[in-house]
Amino acid sequence: MRVEELRLPDDVVEALKKRGITTLTPPQAEAVKKGLLEGRSIVVVAPTASGKTLVGELALINTWLNGGKGVYVSPLKALAEEKYEEFRFWSSLGVKVGITTGDYDNPGEELRRYDWIVATYERMDSIFRLKPSWLSEVRTIVIDELHMVGDEDRGPIVELLAVRSLLDNLQIVGLSATVGEPQILSEWLGSELVVSDWRPVKLVEGFYLSRKNLIVFSDGRLEEVPKKQTLPQHCYMKAINENYQLLIFVQARKKAEELSSKLASLNLEEIPEAKDLVRELESSEAPRTEVESLSKVVSRGLAYHHAGLSLASRKIIERGFRNRVLRAVVATPTLAAGINLPARRVVVYTRRFEGFLKPITVAEFKQMAGRAGRPQYDPYGEAIVADVSSEEEGWGYVLGRPEPVESALLQDRAVRISTLALIASGDARTPEDLVNIFERTLACFMKGRKLSVNMVRYGLRLLSDEGMIEESGSLLRATKLGATVSRMYIDPLSAIIILNDLRKIITAKPLYYLTLIALTPDFGRARITNYRVYSAEARSSLTMGLIPEPPEDVEEIGYYDWLRAYKIGKILNEWIEEVPEDEILHKYGIGSGDLRVLVETAEWLTYAASKVCDVVGLREHSKKLEVLSARVSHGIKEELLDLVRVRGVGRVRARILYDHGIKTVEELASTDPSKIANLKSFGPKVASNVVEEARKLVGSRRELRE
């Protein structure tokens, strides 16, 4: 189908041509034929690089042309930002594109001015709860990575997003690369189904038999691996010799770092083009230890990539790979979660350690294998399973079908969060409303509608017992506490744990609060290991009243969860005491990315805990938690809170200013920039800028007082 055949205005067609799109790919064309531009809901299951995103864009353009708003949701902030940058192309036609990825308690009224809104799953879920006035204008929602509905963590959020969209009669466009039995998802959403195996670059899959030193490909080819080389060494040297790029997926961060170092030792010459990347790393805000480690391998044209790296390093590595400066990247599967980094050859290790070695699913393999083959550079892509124990297992991955997606909404945590959210938002005013809504979920679609009654009973009992909802006759409503918990976007059990503990004490120090919030289920995403060594220290701290006890009445939290929370509390406590980041990372064996997750989660939870404490009358705790949230956000002692309000002044510059006698915004505003230009981390330009920003802030404060 040529773009001229689309029932779209000429300026839209011309815009598509400017992007080099003159003909639709088979899955795009099929989606159009099945009613995409008539407002029909569509589920598209097609390989990476087959053009699924354009299907979503066409639906959003069509909605805009018909006077409605559209929303595009994705699982990760990085993906949302990537799509936002892509979609800004349409501003040339007058489409106003906005992005929102945080501030869960903010209804987002300011987003009214946008025609398209790009959001993370969580942010859009909070918008559905808070119901800004513009929400009624939304006509289409595009759900990227729809298979995430089966994810233990984000799955329930995706499922409720879809259910709310169904209830509001929105056009739902679900996009996915790896789904088994996709007709189940399509039937659940009442949509048309597009399933395609079309790829712009042919994909050939295979597996490595170590005992035969042989790679067996599905097209019949056999590739011998020299006896003195491992599979990664062979693939890396082949990539260098034949001038193509290589991705190797391993299941652990340490493995990624070690393997990239071993491969770098095979290439003794530094690559001239990589020097610029090394310089970027050295001038970035990444921790010094991380820069030193990465520079050793980047200088030889390869890198490692995992969630423990700083955002700065990850972006430099990704850009270096896209620009073909880096020949190879050894990564954990986080890189396969939608970020557009294809390579000619992809090698996948399938054993994941979860207390024991467990093979990944076929769906997970296919997700990573989909990265093989770059449309502009490669005649084909190759994906190789690296660690099968037999030919049977190898063919199981190569020829196997992805497993069907299963709902993750049946977890107690998901049920209590969803039940409170539906009542607090006014979407469910009676138990019958709740049952009817849960009946629309994938869980009940697959397991039977009677399941919804049991889900509702559990949710109502817990929330009623804890004073978060009230029943008047057959009507349900959220109490002030329940409404606050839902607005703060936290698990009701987190609020219960925090309040039950803080009601017993009058005041506490930061370490106590930080350990307490780390005990909540909302801190589950943070990756923390090696905490059992703190057993004696934690017991001693407990005896001195420095940290809370594990909650006795919460089955989900055990002794080791308590030790984990203690380690998190210690890390965050050092962060707010201004211990240098490099020192924290080295001392506690975590990555910069891990620290960032801890900080962002703690900032959110201390703020939420402050609001929850305030609504039940725990004013002293509320005030301390509010201050603590600001300290966690910036990583500072309380005395620097005023200075960091100035744009361009972070934890390092604020401390330097304070130690040189400039302790408030007013004092900074009255300082001659030349007096601070020679201070470390400043310079003439920065000094001038921060003084100017301080003067603006003082001016705005004066206006508020008047």
683 and 630 belong to one structural domain: no
- Listing DSSP states for 384-453 in one string gives EE---SSHHHHHHHHHPPPPBP---TTSHHHHHHHHHHHHHTTS--SHHHHHHHHTTSHHHHHH-TTHHH
Percent of the chain with pLDDT over 70: 98
609-640 residue pLDDT tens = 999 999 999 999 999 999 999 999 999 999 99
**Res 704 pLDDT > 80:** no
70 and 150 belong to one structural domain: yes
CATH number at residue 140: 3.40.50.300
622 and 647 belong to one structural domain: no
Q: Give the domain extent around 580.
A: 492-635
**Res 674 pLDDT > 90:** yes
Would you state the pLDDT for residue 325? 93
496 and 561 belong to one structural domain: yes
Angle between helices 288-298 and 253-264 (to 10 degrees): 40
38-97 residue pLDDT tens = 999 999 999 888 899 999 999 999 999 999 999 999 998 888 998 999 999 999 999 999
Reference 369, options 338, 395, 346, 394; nearest CA is 346
**Res 335 pLDDT > 70:** no
258 and 390 belong to one structural domain: yes
Would you state the pLDDT for residue 690? 95
Question: At 214, phi and psi to the nearest 5?
Answer: -140, 135
Phi/psi zone of residue 429: left (φ > 0), alpha (ψ -120 to 50 degrees), beta?
alpha
In the structure, what pLDDT confidence band is assigned to residue 339 with cuts at 50, 70 and 90? low
Whether 30 is covered by a domain: the verdict is yes
670 and 560 belong to one structural domain: no
Query: How many C-beta atoms surround the C-beta of residue 488 within 10 A?
Result: 22
315 and 208 belong to one structural domain: yes
| Diameter of the chain measured on Cα atoms | 82
**Res 178 pLDDT > 90:** no
Adjacent-strand bridge partners of 328: 246, 302
Whether 121 is covered by a domain: the verdict is yes
Strand 138-143 vs strand 69-74: parallel, antiparallel, or unpaired?
A: parallel
Boundary (domain end) residue, out of 340, 373, 399:
399
Would you state the pLDDT for residue 535? 95
- Across the range 318-340, mean pLDDT stands at 84
478 and 561 belong to one structural domain: no
497-516 residue pLDDT tens = 999 999 999 999 999 999 99
In angstroms, the CA 150 to CA 703 distance is 52
What angle is formed at CA 333 by the lines to CA 327 and CA 338, rounded to 5 degrees?
85
Percent of the chain with pLDDT over 90: 82
Whether 43 is covered by a domain: the verdict is yes
Instruction: Report the mean per-residue pLDDT for the chain.
Output: 93
How many domains are there within the chain? 5
Whether 208 is covered by a domain: the verdict is yes
170 and 98 belong to one structural domain: yes
Would you state the pLDDT for residue 553? 72
606 and 662 belong to one structural domain: no
Boundary (domain end) residue, out of 195, 219, 249:
195
CATH number at residue 551: 1.10.3380.30
214 and 326 belong to one structural domain: yes
For the chain, the first-to-last Cα distance in angstroms comes to 64
pTM recorded for the entire structure: 0.90
245 and 381 belong to one structural domain: yes
295-310 residue pLDDT tens = 999 999 999 999 899 9
* CA atoms 111, 112, 116, 121: torsion sign: positive
CATH number at residue 680: 1.10.150.20
* CA atoms 518, 519, 520, 522: torsion sign: positive
In the structure, what pLDDT confidence band is assigned to residue 643 with cuts at 50, 70 and 90? very high
675-700 residue pLDDT tens = 999 998 899 999 999 999 999 999 98
Boundary (domain end) residue, out of 134, 163, 195:
195
CB distance 614 to 495 below 8 Å: no
